[in-house]
A and B are shown apart, each in its own frame.
Chain A
Amino acid sequence: QTVVTQEPSLTVSPGGTVTLTCASSTGAVTSGYYPNWFQQKPGQAPRPLIYGTSNKHSWTPARFSGSLLGGKAALTLSGVQPEDEAEYYCLLNYGGAWVFGGGTKVTVL
């Protein structure tokens, strides 16, 4: 069974930078896994932030960026705002089947 692994939790100071990663149990993540990233706040549906590794939706704030880093998909938040405190999920495609990561709880403190 394929497992996608994210950091359970990360803490960042307001104005700081934090990088979340997304690893695959099958090996290095590439653009062929079509990495997507989502933000979810309590009581809300997930909000798509990034698709195709690094592409932003029209509503994605400029401080969010996606990349591949050391064999993993990565989401970097630069100039973190208090409203960025949320759960973040990555999603990878395995030849037609999608698998979500377990999520990273980002605390802004």
Chain B
Amino acid sequence: QVQLQESGPGRVKPSGTLSLTCDVFGDSITNTNWWSWVRQPPGKGLEWIAEIYHLDSSKYNPSLKSRVTISLDKSKNQFFLKLTSVTAADTALYYCASIGPGGEWGYWGQGMLVTVSS
């Protein structure tokens, strides 16, 4: 059974950097999957942020690309999200998820609420 778990600070100050980790259990991060981040502001819809493949390939939402970095650590079976220059508009539930080689979205973490506030 594959499980994903997000972790990181629940509060970030405006203009600061949001950093999140996704631990992957029950699967290797070096298999055929892509690994992705999605966010959901309170009461609103879903927004895709970025995805990464273990062979150093990544893709970004054009609207966030200038502020986002996605990376992974094969030795720890983790992948990461970094979002810079945050504002209140970045307050959201952040989810990590897996995407199969055929574009099939599969497993999701439970989500982590990050609040941007001083």
Contact = CB atoms under 8 A, between A and B. Distances in A.
Contacts of B59: 96-97
Contacts of A102: 45
Contacts of A103: 45-46
A64 interface: no
A45 B111 CA distance: 7
Interface in B1-51: 36, 38, 45-48, 51
Given A45-B108, A46-B108, A89-B46, A97 B103 contact: no
Contacts of B47: 100
Interface string A24-62: 000000000010101010000111100110010100000
Interface residues of A, number: 24
A99 interface: yes
Nearest to A31: B103
Interface in B58-105: 59-63, 95, 100, 102-105
Give the interface size bracket for B toward A. Answer: 20 to 34
A52 B101 CA distance: 11
Nearest to A53: B103
A34 B102 contact: yes
Contacts of B106: 48, 57
Given A45-B109, A103-B46, A98 B51 contact: yes
Contacts of A52: 102-104
A48 B45 contact: no
